[in-house]
Amino acid sequence: MSAPSDPAVATHPQAGAAAAAAAASSSSGLTFKLHPLVIVNVSDHHTRVKAQAACSGDGASSAAAGQPPRVFGCVIGVQRGRTVEIFNSFELVLDPVSGTLDRAFLEKKQELYKKVFPDFYVLGWYSTGSDVQDTDMQIHKALMDINESPVYLLLNPAINLSQKDLPVTIYESELHVIDGSPQLIFVRANYTIETVEAERISVDHVAHLKPSDGGSAATQLAAHLTGIHSAIKMLNSRVRVIHQYLVSMQKGDMPLDNSLLRQVSSLVRRLPAMESEKFQDDFLMEYNDTLLMTYLAMFTNCSSTMNELVEKFNATYERSTARRGGRGAFM
């Protein structure tokens, strides 16, 4: 957001890969604050478009290329001095053939959001993908008539279990001289997550949201059992590696290492003896207790059902005998 629109940029409408590539970091000195609602909106937008493309078959080419369909939208918020705070976002319509934005749709959405949030302004736009594309600069320049220095928020939908940070990157546009000509390029900007009390409550509620179909207990049990299975599988693989190493050492394929043998011996003594008599007694006791609790639960359910049946029969019998003046309840 540090470089205003410049007429010299118009002479280079097709920015190459070098111009579109993101530089190391921004030098504007702006402070960016991102609210969780924006991340939730972008993620929801991507999930809906991906599911619709999979059902309709429109995303066949993207799926064949191994890339999910990209989504586009605007981010809105406020700028106070050198602090830019992104509060919300809304979707945009992009022509897949020409790659141009639907200006009528953009102006309509901007007008509607202006009525609800009069203090919010369009700060930039968002998209999904693993990295900046060459066509992103064209969309970026198209929004400069609304905001002369828009920001670009990129969400990477690919799952990376080893990544601890959020898969969200914010870019600014800066005017750099490349090969003797001025060109706009994307530069990374640092940001922090900012929340208000209502957002913290909402995010916490979503994080602990359970399915409404009554399968919450089963879901939690499945997750617990999956974690136990993964731990046992990992333990088994590591024990197998130690066993193969000891066999190789016994055959002479590996050099003898007394220090390592002592560590293996200490580790083996920590493992539970599965064939011991104490283990069999404890296992049978736990197994019998589990069966007993299952039987008690079945008996309790049968007794409750029987009581409801008797109460319904008594109510019906009392009404029929009250008209005839007969005996009382059945039980």
Q: Determine the average pLDDT of the residues in 176-180.
A: 80
The larger pLDDT score, comparing residue 63 to residue 136, is at 136
The per-residue pLDDT for range 3-39, each reduced to its tens digit, is 443 433 333 444 444 444 454 566 778 899 999 889 9
pLDDT band at 318; cut points 50, 70, 90: confident
Q: Determine the average pLDDT of the residues in 139-157.
A: 89
Q: Report the chain's mean pLDDT, rounded to a whole number.
A: 79
Q: Determine the average pLDDT of the residues in 88-98.
A: 82
Closest to 83 (Cα-Cα) out of 191, 197, 200, 195: 191
Whole-model pTM over 0.75: no
Sheet strands side by side (includes 181-189): 181-189, 168-178, 151-155, 121-128, 72-80, 83-91, 31-34, 191-193
Domain borders along the chain are 19-54+68-194, 235-271, 272-303
Cα gap 113→105, rounded to integer Å: 12
Q: Which pLDDT score is estimated for 14?
A: 41
Q: Domain spanning 19-54+68-194 has what CATH number?
A: 3.40.140.10
Closest to 23 (Cα-Cα) out of 201, 193, 188, 140: 188
Cα gap 27→52, rounded to integer Å: 40
Q: Determine the average pLDDT of the residues in 74-89.
A: 91
Q: Is residue 75 classed exposed, middle or buried when 0-12, 13-18 and 19+ CB atoms within 10 A define those classes?
A: buried
User: How far, in Å, are 87, 90, 116 from residue 199 at the CA level?
Assistant: 11, 17, 18
What the block records as the tokens of 155 is 């969400």
Q: Which pLDDT score is estimated for 1?
A: 45
Strands (E), the chain: 31-34, 72-80, 83-91, 121-128, 151-155, 168-178, 181-189, 191-193
Q: Which pLDDT score is estimated for 86?
A: 93
To the nearest 10 degrees (0 to 180), the angle between helices 216-251 and 258-270 is 150
Q: DSSP 3-state assignment of 5?
A: coil
Region at 93 (left for phi over 0; alpha for psi -120 to 50; beta for the rest): beta
List of residues 6+ apart from 271 with CB closer than 8 A:
239
* Alpha-carbon dihedral sign for residues 223, 229, 231, 233: negative
Least confident of 103-117, 146-160, 170-184, 205-219: 205-219
Report the DSSP pairing between strands 151-155 and 121-128. Answer: parallel
Cα gap 128→172, rounded to integer Å: 16
Q: Which pLDDT score is estimated for 273?
A: 58
Q: What percent of the chain has pLDDT over 90?
A: 13
pLDDT at residue 128 is higher than 80: yes
Q: What percent of the chain has pLDDT over 70?
A: 78
Q: Which pLDDT score is estimated for 64?
A: 44
The per-residue pLDDT for range 209-224, each reduced to its tens digit, is 555 555 555 566 677 7
Q: Determine the average pLDDT of the residues in 247-255.
A: 88
List of residues 6+ apart from 166 with CB closer than 8 A:
39, 193
Q: Determine the average pLDDT of the residues in 50-77.
A: 72
Closest to 151 (Cα-Cα) out of 123, 192, 127: 123
pLDDT at residue 50 is higher than 80: yes
